[in-house]
Amino acid sequence: MSAREDEGMDLDWGDGDYGRTAEVLEPASEIVVELAGVSEGDRVLDVACGTGNATIAAAVRGAGVVGVDLSEGLLGIARGRADAAGLPDVVLRAGDAVDLPVEQGSFDVALSVFGVIFATDADAAVANMLAAVRPGGVIAIASWISRGPICAAGMALRKAFPSDSGTEAFDWTRPEGVRGLLERTGAREIAQSEHELEFRAPSAAEWFDEQQRNHPVWRWAGRQLPAERWAEVRRESVEALRAGSDEPLEFRARSPYVITRAVR
Ligand SMILES: C[S@@+](CC[C@H](N)C(=O)[O-])C[C@H]1O[C@@H](n2cnc3c(N)ncnc32)[C@H](O)[C@@H]1O
């Protein structure tokens, strides 16, 4: 689901159990925090922090972190995790990436792990991240690359929701496009590195059904479509997942993503 399709729809990321997906995505946050060079005493902003993966990874390194997200429910989970880990220097704030509730130039690092990609205005959201850091500060963004079976399943879902807005959403799945976006905002020293996350389930069908039960995007989509159309989406998705699985007897697939790091 892209930002433009997201616009105006009542997707609540607190619906279902996004935390299950967040556990699978957690290694990406560790790498983003590492590549951003977060160290003790840094002031770090985590945009679209969700349940707090990158927020916590940065706070564990001794940074003071502000996590911002649209979902109060997910912020509550992030709060619980930070408290349980004994990390008092974590502030969690409700807010939108296109209208960040933070002071300009007040951070050393601003990062976003598969989060800012959902903002309705990509240029404004990235410009806000850059403006949030001091001159010489770092921004780092993780975004999916359009390859692999999970992406193919996402495409099957997207096909069921043709955009009628007439406006093309920014395509975050092309690393060169992301580089161009950062160049437009005036970011310097742009560097990109490719990584992979592994997804596993007993079978392709069970991976899909787990999303349908717990992931807010799949749950939302399933509620919008008539049963027959949803059955088609499921069939197409499971076929794509099965075809792209690395293992014949279970579902196991790697999804590529890019981390783009730049300096203000
Ligand atoms: C795929 S999750 C990623 C969460 C987290 N960064 C992680 O790595 O698990 C996307 C997150 O973006 C948040 N989000 C979507 N649109 C947003 C916006 N415009 N401003 C702030 N947060 C947003 C959602 O609430 C959700 O927490």
Q: Whose CA is nearest to atom 13 of ligand 1?
A: 48
Atom of ligand 1 nearest to the CA of 49: 6
Q: Are 28 and 8 in contact (CB under 8 A)?
A: no
pLDDT tens-digit series, residues 65-111: 999 999 999 999 999 999 999 998 999 999 999 999 999 999 999 99
**pLDDT, averaged across the chain:** 94
Task: Give the nearest ligand 1 atom to 28 CA.
Answer: 8
**Residue with the nearest Cα to atom 10 of ligand 1?**
115
Please write the tens of the pLDDT for every residue from 211-232: 999 999 999 999 999 999 999 9
Query: How far is it, in rounded angstroms, from Cα 108 to Cα 36?
Result: 10
Q: Is 49 in the pocket of ligand 1 (CB under 6 A)?
A: yes
Domain ranges of the chain: 3-146+166-200+256-263
Q: Is the CB of 108 under 6 A from ligand 1?
A: no
pLDDT at 188 over 70: yes
Give the neighbor-by-neighbor strand order of the sheet with 107-113: 90-94, 64-69, 43-47, 107-113, 133-144, 251-263, 188-201
How many angstroms is it from 142 CA to the middle of ligand 1? 12
**Which DSSP category does 103 fall into?**
-
Rounded distance between C-alpha atoms, residue 68 and residue 119, angstroms: 12
| 110 Cα: distance to centroid of ligand 1 (angstroms) | 14
Residue 52 CB less than 6 A away from ligand 1: no
**pTM higher than 0.85 for the full model?**
yes
Check residue 9 and give its pLDDT. Answer: 61
57 CA distance to ligand 1 centroid (A)?
A: 16
Q: Per CATH, which fold does 3-146+166-200+256-263 belong to? A: Rossmann fold (3.40.50)
